[in-house]
Amino acid sequence: YMAPMQEPLTKAGFAWFSINYRLAPKYRYPACLEDVETAIRWVKAHAAQYHLDPQRIALAGESAGSQLIAMAAVRADEATRVAAVIPFYLPADLLEDPLKTGVLNPSRSALIGRTEFNDESRALLRAASPMYFVKPGLPPFLLLHGTADQSVPYHQSVDMQAQLRAAGVPCDLITIPGGVHGMIGWDAVAPDYKDQVVAWLKTTLKIPAAKP
């Protein structure tokens, strides 16, 4: 689902890896997050082989993938720390919906392996919500979110930006007016969003300008 960004990144000279992770309900959280962290360590360990700068690694992900990269960033150690994080339509707070409804929707139930919303499931969902683990010293974030997202409320990215900035973490937000959940169709309402992502990456990672 990150495919729309692949060509722009390639044209801009970025190397990128598309990773996979174990899925619920067969594998419960945090198996998926552990796979993302394993992938980060693997890329760092093979940086020389692929002619990469291990100090300029960025994570990008969309929807569930954005939750995983944000969680990887907020709980990173020296082996998994990265230089930038780009979550697309981030579910920053997995507790918001069950706190309102009192029930777990199927995706959250599958993720944590629980069927009832109680103290136990509440603790598990909180532990999977990057909103609750923002702290100073995190890498810069770039959030992208459409205002017409029916799956993850747009305000979750707004709230996450506020949390990050309050902690002194650089965070920009690209709002896609009328954008739905998923980048399909974004070109029609925000034709320059890919260029904005590439420009942000070049600035944030301090990529030297190409020689004429």
pLDDT tens-digit profile, the chain (212 residues): 899 999 999 999 999 999 999 999 999 999 999 999 999 999 999 999 999 999 999 999 999 999 999 999 999 999 999 999 999 999 999 999 999 999 999 999 999 999 999 999 999 999 999 999 999 999 999 999 999 999 999 999 999 999 999 999 999 999 999 999 999 899 999 999 999 999 999 999 999 876 66
Assign 198 to helix, strand or coil: helix
With beta carbons less than 8 A apart as the criterion, state whether 149 and 179 touch. Answer: yes
For 25, what's the count of Cα atoms within 13 Å in the CB-facing half-sphere?
8
**Local structure of residue 51 (DSSP, 8 states):** T
93, 158 contact by CB (below 8 A)? no
Q: In what order do the strands lie in the sheet with 141-146?
A: 58-62, 84-88, 141-146, 171-176
Residue 26 backbone zone (phi > 0: left; psi -120 to 50: alpha; other: beta): alpha
* C-alpha–C-alpha distance, residues 212 and 156, integer Å: 42
